[in-house]
Structure 1
Amino acid sequence: MADPIAVNPQHYRLVFENDRVRVLEYSDGPGDSTGTHSHPDSVMVTLSSFARRLRSGGREVDVELQAGQARWLDAQEHSGTNTGSTPTHCLFIELKEPRQETSGMDEQHLPATHTGRLGPVPS
């Protein structure tokens, strides 16, 4: 796994960490990009409204989010570019405990490894 802080120290800052979670703050400006890095299963909290293009494994997805949202982010590796006209500012609450597989989950709640989802899960 490519740690976001090691790959992109100008954009990521460690806010809090214990044996169960790690909280990262992310910020950038219009046109800024990140190198390829990984996130475990996480909750992303948007502190600003922003637009981004995420890339992974030959796929691209455009994401536009409003400030004040909390979104689930399945474990994934990606790079990204701020494609909007405003800064990106958000928090990632990364889970350290492994996912417990659950049978009978509907498509909306399946992990990325099952759906191939890139970026945050729509609410």
Structure 2
Amino acid sequence: MTSDSAAALDPAVTNPEHYQVVFENERVRVLEYTDKPGDRTTRHAHPDSVLVVLSSFRRRMYAADDSAHDLELTAGKVGWLAAQQHAGHNIGDTDSHALFIELKEGARTETGVLGPVGPAVR
């Protein structure tokens, strides 16, 4: 996250008991998320991300406009999470465990490169 307002909503800062940075480079940041039944997060923001669900859990999500919706996520699910602000509440009876692979702005992809660059492996 680059701007001051984005930094103020960084989940690793606003909710460090739940979000841990486990990898970061100039193109992505990977956050590990954990919580227990009844736990809540404060409002925070994610850029465009890939969500990898590591355990099945139920949550109530609160959007930036304070509307709420419940969802159930199943272990092994992988999905796209468009940039957003939200807060959450574990409303189930299982711990939550997930990875957020956050994409950083300005990342560029080399065209025509389909695999590792370097000498051929024989």
Report the TM-score range of the alignment, normalised by the length of the smaller protein: 0.7 to 0.9
Query: Which of 42, 65, 73 is residue 65 of structure 1 equivalent to?
Result: 73
Deviation string 1:35-76 (CA, Å, 9 cap, x unpaired) is 000000000000000000010212111110110110110100
1:88 alignment partner in structure 2? 96
TM-score (norm 1): 0.78
CA RMSD, 1 decimal: 1.2
**Greater than 3 Å deviation, 4+ residue runs:** none
Percent identity over paired residues:
58
Secondary structure in 2 aligned to 1:9? coil
For 2:12 and 2:31, locate their aligned partners in 1 and report how far apart those are by CA, in whole Å.
8
Amino acid at match of 2:96: T
TM-score (norm 2): 0.78
Unaligned runs of 5+ in 2: 1-5, 108-122
For 2:91 and 2:49, locate their aligned partners in 1 and report how far apart those are by CA, in whole Å.
23
Amino acid at match of 2:22: V
- Residue 60 and residue 98 in structure 1: after superposition, are their counterparts in 2 closer, same or farther (change >3 A)? farther
| Count of equivalent residues | 99
Query: Which of 32, 35, 59 is residue 42 of structure 2 equivalent to?
Result: 35
Unaligned runs of 5+ in 1: 100-123
